Amino acid sequence: MINDSGTLAQSHLLIVDDSLDELRILKSLLDAHHFRLSVAFDGLQGYQRAQTLRPDLILMDVRMPKADGFSACRLLKANPQTRDIPVVFLSAAASPEERLTGLSIGGVDYVTKPFLAEEVLARVRIHLQLASRHMDTQEGAAEALDPDEVLLQAGIALIRSRLGETLTVDEIATRVGSYGKKLSAVFRERTGLTVFAFLREERLKTGRRWLADTDTSIQDVADQLCFQNAGNFATAFRERFGLTPTAYRKSVRAGRLIEA
C-alpha cells in the first residue's frame, strides 16, 4: 500500500521462484527495504497463494515445474479476484519471444536475470504506485469465480490469442496450468463444445469478421487461421454459415449483412 506521504508502507510482495538461491537473494534485498514477503516454489502454488494472500505485487519466475510463470499469469488474469495484481516477471528466460509473451498475457514488466538490485527495487516501487492509483478508482469487490470457470476463461483467452497456431488440447491445457482431460471436461460442461470445436468456432467467427471488415484474400484468411488451404476453409465456412466466403463477402459489400 501507499501511505499519505507517498512512501511504501509494508507492501506485501509474493515471490514465485523454484530456485532457493534466487529466493534468498530476493528475500535479502526486499527485507532490507521493509516489504512484507511471501514465497511460492512453482506457478501453481503461486497462483493458489495469490488467491489466499492477495499480495500487492507478484515477482514471477518463468521456467518452473508443475506450472510455469506464464501459465500462472494466465490464471491470475482470468480470475477477477487476482487479475489486478501486478505481475513482474523476473527470469533468465530472456529471448524476445519470451519477453513479449510475458507482457502480452498481462505482465506489467519483465526483468531479466541476472538483475541489478536497484533496477528491481525501482520497478517494484513504480508498479506498486501505479497499482495503488488504479485501486483508488475501483469500487466494490470483484466477484468470485469457481476454479473451473477460471480455467475456462484462461483457456478461452489463450485460444483467442493463438488462432493462427497449430495447438493440441494438451498444449493448451499445459499453458493454463492444467491437463488435457481436465480442460476438455470443463469445456464440455461450460460451453457444450470440445476444446477443438471451440477453437474451430473461434477461427470461423474471426474469419467471418475479417471477410467483412478487410480486403484480405480468402487464401490469406485461411493461412492466418491455420486452415490447411483456402478450400478447407471455404468448406468449413459454408457448413457453419450457409454461404461460401466469397458469397458472404459479396453480401456484406452489397449491404445485406448476414448473421449466423
User: Do 151 and 132 belong to one domain?
Assistant: no
User: Do 24 and 114 belong to one domain?
Assistant: yes
User: Do 166 and 51 belong to one domain?
Assistant: no
CATH number for the domain that contains residue 67: 3.40.50.2300
pLDDT confidence tier of residue 137, bands split at 50, 70 and 90: low
Nearest to 91 by CA among 74, 68, 71, 75: 68
Order of strands across the sheet that contains 109-112 = 36-40, 12-16, 57-60, 87-91, 109-112
User: Do 127 and 205 belong to one domain?
Assistant: no
Domain that residue 44 falls in? 12-136
Whether the CB-CB separation of 60 and 127 falls below 8 Å is answered with no
User: Do 132 and 154 belong to one domain?
Assistant: no
Q: Which residue has the cell 480486403?
A: 215
pTM of the model: 0.84
Respond yes or no on whether the N-terminal peptide bond of residue 114 is cis (omega within 30° of 0).
yes
Whether the CB-CB separation of 56 and 131 falls below 8 Å is answered with yes
* Final residue of a structural domain among 69, 103, 136: 136
CA pair distance 200, 170, nearest whole angstrom: 16
User: Do 31 and 128 belong to one domain?
Assistant: yes
**pLDDT average, residue stretch 122-134:** 87
Has residue 180 been placed in a domain? yes
Q: Helix or strand or coil: residue 185? A: helix
User: What pLDDT is recorded for position 254?
Assistant: 85
Of residues 143 and 238, more confidently modeled:
238
**pLDDT average, residue stretch 82-102:** 92
CA pair distance 142, 135, nearest whole angstrom: 12
Lowest mean pLDDT among 48-57, 115-124, 129-138: 129-138
Has residue 1 been placed in a domain? no
